[in-house]
Amino acid sequence: MPKRKRLPISVEDQATVYFRDKWLCKYCRRPVILHLALKWLARLVHSRIAGVDPAYWDDHWRRDKAPLLDELAASVDHKVALSDGGEGYIRLFGTSREAVFRNLGILQEQLLRKGLNLNSSKTKIAEETC
């Protein structure tokens, strides 16, 4: 089967999902923030204070450059991975804040289809990182 192309999710669609999910991560229920808010804040600080390197924005989302962005910024992911037949409808998206959970969510969906469960491992990781 040919690999399905992932289409970008517009900021408007992302915001719709975040509002629907009440700005809470679907995995750990911690609050999230729109990544663009941190980008605009960094621009404001740069315009007012020369030479400051704020820890909340990096164009490449590098954790060492922007740990607050990596820690707090929301992202939208598919409840069912595209590779498993998931569709790009907003109702099938969910809010998350950690890349590890995004990947675990996809893995969990794949395991559930095979009759396996990842919940105990996922919960343990959430407790260690949150």
**Per-residue x/- mask for Zn ion, residues 28 to 67, rule CB under 5 A?**
x---------------------------------------
Among 38, 73, 78, 97, which residue interacts with Zn ion (rule: CB under 5 A)? 97
Binding test (CB under 5 A) with Zn ion, winner from 25, 69, 72, 104:
25
> Is residue 18 within the footprint of Zn ion (CB under 5 A)?
no
Shorter beta-carbon distance to Zn ion: residue 34 or 45? 34
Running DSSP on this structure, what letter comes out for residue 130? -
Count the Cβ atoms, other than its own, within 10 Å of residue 32.
22
Which residue in 27, 56, 57, 93 binds Zn ion (CB under 5 A)? 27
Structure tokens at 25: 């991560």
Contacts (Cβ under 8 Å, ≥6 apart) of 56: 38, 41, 42, 66, 68, 69, 72
Among candidates 40, 33, 36, 42, which has minimal Cα distance to 96?
33
Q: Which residues bind Zn ion (CB under 5 A)?
A: 25, 27-28, 97
